[in-house]
Amino acid sequence: MISRRLFSTTSKLPPCNFVPKKYDGPSYDKLTKIRRINLNPALTTIYKDPLAVHQGHMQWLFDINGKRYLDLFGGICTVSVGHCHPKINAAVKDQMEVLNHVSNIFLHPKIHEYAERLTAKMPGDLKVAYFVNSGSEANDLAILMARLYTKNFEILSLRNCYHGMTCATMGLTATGKYKYNYPNVSGIHHVMNPDVYKGIWGGKNCRDSVVQTTRQCNCSGECDAKHKYIDQLKEHFEYTIPKSKGLAAFFAESIQGVGGSVQFPKGYIKEAAQLVRENGGLMISDEVQTGFGRTGDHFWGFEGHEIVPDIVTMAKGIGNGYPLAAVVTTPKIAEALNAASHFNTFGGNPIASTVGITVLDIIEEEKLQQNSKAIGTNFLKQLSQLREEYPKTIGDVRGKGLMIGVELVKNGTTEPLLDKQIYDVLKDKGVIMGQGGAYGNVMRIKPPMCITQQDVDFTMSTLREAFTQLKYK
């Protein structure tokens, strides 16, 4: 039996010189009452006693009582460079004093500056940007573009994926908890998810990660699991896609986000893209969570799969919390939208574009992609050690850079451990983590990319305290 490292029972938050403003808004009871009566009743929180957040600073959040928390979820993988980053605050203030909003039918400078900057980060012929407001909207537009361009209708996505909750993207999404009993857009099919941890095939040599599954694996050279999952994909082209027409598009996240940071076998996405194009379709990469340096090795997650997609969708980290998203494609595919008039009232407005430009500046100036790789790699290795210490509770650790998932299980099986107490215990100790996966048993770690090694060490001590307190094994 592996011995547990000694740790303090009261881990201390790393130092922070920032002092939050005093809160003088509605009381906690008033907030909960308003939420119950005046807000969408489907809104939920992962905590028994919901957290009332007042202010943010870089990787830190402060509640209405002034208590500080290390934010390892980043507003659902959205705060890329840090809460209320001073450079973004200053840039937005300056822009608001010059031009707040005009329609993009005008040649306001910022949208043009930003389009040039953003597309310069893209490989190949991905040079045309459409700015929108959310990831769901971006994926919705990508569906339209693919069908118009190819003149085909059928679309494929992976089981366990999440691509949004508009009427169209709810059809793309293949996780039952996010689907209403409502007719989704037709022509969308969900293929087998190539999950090397819980899927039919896969093992300890299959992932592009410093941490692998503990399953046995027969791979030598090319991934054997990849070939088997590709065979399953081929069956969809054989039995589902009309031979007379072909495919419109295949959607894939580089690493599944809401689905629990699921990684695919090495080579799967590359070979899938080849199959898609052979059958008349476009390869669409959803970079809503994996873009902007989060995976560490590359600026875009798809680069780790050695492909250049036909369409790329992005949101979340693109605006560091500001409602900004984009679709980037080739000039040839972009022409398909000329079939009718197309515009977006708020997409790429002066403030949104200013935020987007500033995010790109900060990632480069503060070397946040490099930080994601260095800090994320160490984090993954420490979490792997934790899995060895708690083999009956931690079934899998996976991810790249600061896109990390820790799957909690029962008694060393793959059966999900459905215990929300862990999030409450961590919150009480000052750590905020996300919850994901089809059953909510995956701890999602997607913090602002400015976190430090001190933050990681504090988190690991806190996790050990929480696991001990909950009597995990």
Tokens of 58: 């870089």
By mean pLDDT, which of 27-36, 75-84, 211-220 is the weakest? 211-220
Entry field: residues in the chain? 473
Model confidence at 41, pLDDT cuts 50, 70, 90, reads confident
For residue 11, pLDDT over 90 is answered with no
* Domain spanning 89-365, CATH class: alpha beta
Nearest to 192 by CA among 274, 283, 265, 245: 265
| Torsion on CA atoms 398, 401, 403, 405, rounded to nearest 10 | 20
Distance CA 51, CA 49 (A): 6
Element (H, E) at 313: strand 311-314
Distances (CA, A) of 216 to 149, 201, 204: 43, 10, 6
Domain ranges of the chain: 28-71+367-391+420-469, 89-365
The set of long-range contacts for 201-206, using a CB threshold of 8 Å and a minimum separation of 24, is 201/225, 201/228, 201/229, 201/265, 202/265, 206/265, 206/266
Rounded mean pLDDT of 324-338? Answer: 97
Tokens of 14: 């790393």
* Domain spanning 28-71+367-391+420-469, CATH class: alpha beta
Q: What pLDDT, on a 0 to 100 scale, did the predictor assign at position 223?
A: 87
Residue pLDDT, tens place only, 88-121? 999 999 999 999 999 878 899 999 999 999 999 9
Model confidence at 243, pLDDT cuts 50, 70, 90, reads confident
Q: What is the pTM of this model?
A: 0.95
Tokens of 36: 């119950």
Q: In what order do the strands lie in the sheet with 403-408?
A: 394-400, 403-408, 442-445, 434-436
Tokens of 344: 């977006």
Residue pLDDT, tens place only, 386-398? 999 999 999 999 9
Residue pLDDT, tens place only, 264-309? 999 999 999 999 999 999 999 999 999 999 999 999 999 999 999 9
CB 150 within 8 A of CB 280: yes
Rounded mean pLDDT of 461-472? Answer: 97
